[in-house]
Chains A and B, each alone.
Chain A
Amino acid sequence: MSRLNRQRNIIDFTLSSLLRRKRKNTALVLVYTLVVFGLASVFFSTQALKREACSVLQKSPDIVIQRLVAGRHDLIAESYVNKVKDIRGVQSAQGRLWGYYYDPTVGANYTLMVPDGPFRGEGTIVIGKGVARTLHAQKGDLVPFRTYDGSFISLEVDDMLSAQSELVTADLVLLTENDFRQITGVPRGFLTDVGVTAKNPRELATIAEKIRRLLPDTRPIMKDDILRTYETIFDWRGGVLLVILAGSIFAFVILAWDKASGLSSEERKEIGILKGIGWETSDVIVMKFWEGAVISLSSFLLGCVFAYIHVFFTSSALFEPVLKGWSVLYPQFRLTPSIDPLQIATLFFLTVIPYTVATIIPSWRAATIDPDAVMRL
């Protein structure tokens, strides 16, 4: 009980002590919160984007087969699909038609894709929200496309893709096989690539090896590889942001170090008085520990809460251009709120611990002064 009271008494004094230096501490909490906010926003966004992209990719084929010519992705013959289907362990093999289309009028790139299974009639398209926004297109509008031979065809917007999948469908245009071939010039009998689903996911490596042997001019790309690439891309984007933030983090470190480590003469005098009237060195350190902890913990919590709101309620409004990409077609979507405890712990160790330590060391130095120094203050 006495130990508890001691801590309680010291915390009481710490709080009134903090209130005395309102300006200094408010400024510190403000800057500190801002830095935690920045870091937490990057962490939260990157993680949530990765999760979002990965969850969409879960539905993609286990292996994608691309044909290579001179090391570059080339069209693949339809006959390859049946060859792949005959490989043991393959559940299904589906030829895919997709490509990119540059729209010079708005300066945006779309992804053209022929969906699996039956699609709406010729001359119609289904577009992603990003495309719709860029073209100001609505259901029933005609969108002109310039074909590979220089002529134009107009396709009617039949529907729009749902907002939930906007992260990866913002720039998507779904159309029929005939329209696709007419725009892109991909000849009949050829596909962009082949998607393969395996009966047993544990046999993927064996199937990929068989594909490599059977079709030596192709490369099988595993879903895991694509997932890794996505992760790398988002990590890279997070990294770019961190570099941008590095300046402010560095400035904060200097400020925090200066504020935390440089005790003012007033603070030194106070420590002297406390020692003089019977406080032990450990009492002073406990007090300074609580002082640092109150500032860093409140800033940490505030920063995290603001970052949470920023990322999950405003869709990272401040970082949008860097984190999401997609040239001029920024996806507009809400990330699913989720917090990774490991990230919180990392953030905690990057911010709270260094600050608290930075406050304790100089106080410990000041607290080890002889108590009789107070007689000469």
Chain B
Amino acid sequence: MIEVMDIRKVFNSGRPNEFVAIDRVSLSIEQRKITVLKGPSGSGKTTLLSILGCMARPTSGRILLSGREITSLPEKFLTEIRRTTFGFVFQQFNLIRGITVLENVILPAYPIGESPVVLKKRAMELLSLFNLSQKASSKVEWLSGGEAQRASIARALMNNPEVIIADEPTANLDTRLSRELMEIVGNLKRRGKTVIIASHDPIVYDSPIVDRVVEMRDGKIVAEANGE
């Protein structure tokens, strides 16, 4: 579904502090599967995740989405693809403080131009899916870590994307909540979503629901393993 070919990502190119985050990586992400990018900090997994999610452009190499070359698309089109194809779950949850859980969930859909009634209905369905209906009108800062993570997943699903991209989703969760999160990820897979996770948490990459683990180090893929 998503294919990257021989990509490189270089930061501060040509300067003394030049840094190669991704070095000639080729990878193909399968549809409706859970792929985990595993590796220590600085291994390049978050950068690769950004490139896979059309958040960043590679310095060189090609990206194909469902067979369509999207490497050199202008920012406007990339945003459109990002909005409709990908849902993002961030390490710090990245919910916007001061507004309600419901508003946070609706946020990705605001610029699409659907009617507020439709948006609210869809967001409430998602919140009920994650047992957060009661918290819809609460401010996000009042949520517990687990609730905040579930709210951020609900937000990622708001535009009904095909692919969910999660960067270190268990970094701020305890073991119980991390296992709960993996159950949710399993449910997403059953609902036909493709999930790509960057993590160095064994609860994530050792989980039986994971289909493929790609191990990275120093910007390169060093090992690959398929789940049971």
Binding site for B on A (CB under 8 A): 1-6, 8-10, 12-13, 16-17, 19-21, 266, 270, 273-274, 276-281, 283, 370-372, 374-377
Contacts and interface: CB of A to CB of B under 8 A. Distances in A.
A371 B113 contact: no
B136 interface: no
Nearest to A16: B99
Nearest to B114: A5
A279 B75 CA distance: 11
B93 to A, nearest CB: 10
> What 9 pairs across the A-B complex have the smallest Cβ distances?
A20-B98, A278-B83, A2-B113, A6-B113, A372-B50, A372-B56, A372-B55, A9-B110, A277-B108
Interface majority SS (helix, strand, loop, mixed), chain A: helix
Interface string B111-148: 11111100100000000000000000000000000000
A3 B90 CA distance: 29
Nearest to A6: B113
Contact of A276 (B94, B112, B159): B94
User: Which residue, of B47, B49, B55, B159, has the highest number of chain A Cβ atoms within 10 A?
Assistant: B55
Interface in B152-172: 155-156, 159, 167
Contacts of A13: 99, 103, 107, 110
Nearest to A272: B94
A9 B116 contact: yes
Contacts of B116: 5, 8-9, 12
Given A370-B55, A374-B90, A6 B98 contact: no
A372 B79 CA distance: 12
Contacts of B76: 280
Interface residues of B, number: 39
Contacts of B90: 276, 374-375, 377
Contacts of A266: 97
Nearest to A275: B79
Given A276-B94, A375-B90, A2 B79 contact: no
A6 B55 contact: no
B59 interface: no
A6 B112 contact: yes
A6 B99 contact: no
B205 interface: no
B115 to A, nearest CB: 6
5 contacts: A2-B114, A277-B83, A279-B108, A371-B82, A374-B55
A270 B50 CA distance: 18
Nearest to A278: B83
B119 A9 contact: yes
Contact of B111 (A9, A12, A377): A9
Given A16-B99, A16-B103, A277-B88, A377 B94 contact: yes
Interface hub of A4, A9, A20, A280 (most chain B Cβ within 10 A): A9
A286 B146 CA distance: 33
Given A9-B111, A12-B116, 11 more contacts: A8-B116, A9-B110, A9-B119, A10-B110, A20-B97, A276-B94, A277-B107, A278-B108, A280-B111, A372-B50, A375-B91
A376 to B, nearest CB: 7
Contacts of B10: none
Nearest to B53: A372
A279 B55 contact: no
B55 A276 contact: yes
B78 to A, nearest CB: 9
B96 A273 contact: yes
A13 B86 CA distance: 22
Interface in B63-112: 75-76, 79, 82-83, 86, 88, 90-92, 94, 96-100, 103, 106-112
Contacts of B156: 277
B46 A283 contact: no
Nearest to A279: B111
B167 to A, nearest CB: 6
Contacts of A19: 98
Q: Among A266, A273, A278, which residue has the most Cβ atoms of chain B within 10 A?
A: A278
B50 A375 contact: yes
B167 A375 contact: yes
A374 B111 contact: no
A231 B133 CA distance: 67
B75 A281 contact: yes
Contact of A17 (B55, B99, B111): B99
Given A20-B99, A276-B88, A371-B82, A376 B46 contact: yes
A6 B79 CA distance: 16
A162 B79 CA distance: 71
Contacts of B50: 372, 375
A279 B96 CA distance: 14
Given A16-B103, A20-B98, A280 B79 contact: yes
Contacts of A9: 106, 109-111, 113-114, 116, 119
Contacts of A10: 110-111
Contacts of B92: 377
Contacts of A377: 90, 92, 94
